[in-house]
Amino acid sequence: MSSLARSDSADAPVCDQHLVDLEHVRQVQPEVLPIEKAQQMAELFGLLADPNRLRILSALANQELCVCDLAAVVKMGESAVSHQLRVLRSMRLVSYEKRGRMVYYRLADNRVSILYREVADQLSDRES
Amino acid sequence: MSSLARSDSADAPVCDQHLVDLEHVRQVQPEVLPIEKAQQMAELFGLLADPNRLRILSALANQELCVCDLAAVVKMGESAVSHQLRVLRSMRLVSYEKRGRMVYYRLADNRVSILYREVADQLSDRES
DNA sequence: ACAACACCTGAATAGATATTCAGACTTATA
DNA sequence: TATAAGTCTGAATATCTATTCAGGTGTTGT
């Protein structure tokens, strides 16, 4: 190995000492999604990463429903639905309204349905 | 499939016997995302539901990178990066090209970046 | 050919997630 | 008021996921 007096140092664990393309690394680094933001996004995607939650959202995309009917529609236990709604609520993807002893849920806004339709389309393209 | 007969029995665990609004249930049911499709979508969302994978994708959104540099950019171990790339590869979100002993990765297509930018924007709105 | 390097893979551990069960709370009805 | 219905919540279990570690494959350069 040539005795390169490279003052590499660097605080990042990189491939050995000589980065393949240090320029690229330096160039890309600031463009990379910051960790904090990445976590936010991951959290949001995580909400949509469950089949049952997607089905719940797709049901609510049509009209508001109470927990009970929702459970019937998506064929889940009411407790499970309630747990999931709690999750969706915490991220303000759905809103609710109490009427008597029922609680009616609906999508918080239509951005959710837009987004989810976005992916649905992409999937259709993808699954050729 | 289940013919969803009267409000009696049925295979779905509903609120007692009398659905709050059977009409709504019947109306919504066919609109609900089918389980199979929901799983596909959830799988795709799941790929995007990890901060490190998002960071990897955001890095590749700028330009192609080898595993080594990629690891440096996102500050992860190379093995961890390799594992994640394997996941992303399996869903064809990234493609790769071997050149010598390096393997260069890039986004498979720009739909991915479009989608991910979509959510980034929504998040910006959301976090007012 | 040999050694070093880039990358991949499998097993193992730690952490997160979803469902179920049991019970609590709230509201309508007898 | 007492009972039943709808919903919510917490604990427990099972499952999945991500990272690390150790070792393997294939390529480059001496």
DSSP label of B90: H
Q: Is the pLDDT of residue B62 over 90?
A: no
Q: Tell me the CB-side half-sphere exposure of residue B27, using CA atoms within 13 A.
A: 10
Token couple for A18: 């000589």
* Percentage above 70 pLDDT, chain B: 79
- pLDDT tens digits, residue range B82-109? 999 999 999 999 999 999 999 999 999 8
Strand C-contacting residues in B 83-102, CB cut-off 7 angstroms? 83, 85-86, 96, 101-102
CA of A75 to C1' of D18 (A): 31
Chain C nucleotides covered by protein, CB below 7 Å: 4-11, 17-23, 26-28
Q: Which of B19, B37, B69 lies at the smallest CB-CB distance from A25? A: B69
What residues does B59 pair with on adjacent strands? none
pLDDT at residue A15, as a whole number: 61
- pLDDT tens digits, residue range B18-34? 566 677 788 888 989 99
- Compute the radius of gyration of chain A from its Cα atoms: 23
Q: What is the nearest nucleotide to A80, using C1' and CA? A: C19
Nearest to B88 by CA among B114, B109, B119: B109
Q: Which of A13, A74, A125 lies at the smallest CB-CB distance from B32? A: A74
A26 Ramachandran zone, left/alpha/beta (phi>0; psi -120 to 50): alpha
Q: In sequence order, which residues have a C-beta less than 8 Å from that of residue B82 and are 6 or more positions away?
A: B67
Nearest to A86 by CA among A37, A33, A47, A127: A47
Contact B54 A46 (CB under 8 A): no
What residues does A106 pair with on adjacent strands? A95
CA distance A73 to B116: 30
Mean predicted confidence (pLDDT) in B62-86? 95
pLDDT at residue B126, as a whole number: 62
Distance of CA A125 to the CA centre of its chain: 20
pLDDT at residue A11, as a whole number: 40
Contact A33 B45 (CB under 8 A): no
Bridge-based pairing state of the strands A94-99 and A65-66? unpaired
Contact A123 B41 (CB under 8 A): yes
Query: Which residues in chain A come in under a pLDDT of 70?
Result: 1-21, 122-123, 125-128
Q: Is the pLDDT of residue B113 over 90?
A: no
pLDDT at residue A36, as a whole number: 92
Residue with tokens 């936010």, as numbered in its chain: A40
pLDDT tier at B77 (50, 70, 90 boundaries)? Answer: very high
Q: Which residue of A has its CA nearest to B70?
A: A25
Contact A94, A88 (CB under 8 A): yes
pLDDT at residue B24, as a whole number: 78
- Compute the radius of gyration of chain B from its Cα atoms: 22
CA distance B76 to A13: 8
Q: What is the pTM of this model?
A: 0.83
Among the residue ranges B44-53, B83-92, B112-121, the one predicted with the least confidence is: B112-121
Nearest to B70 by CA among A10, A36, A19: A19
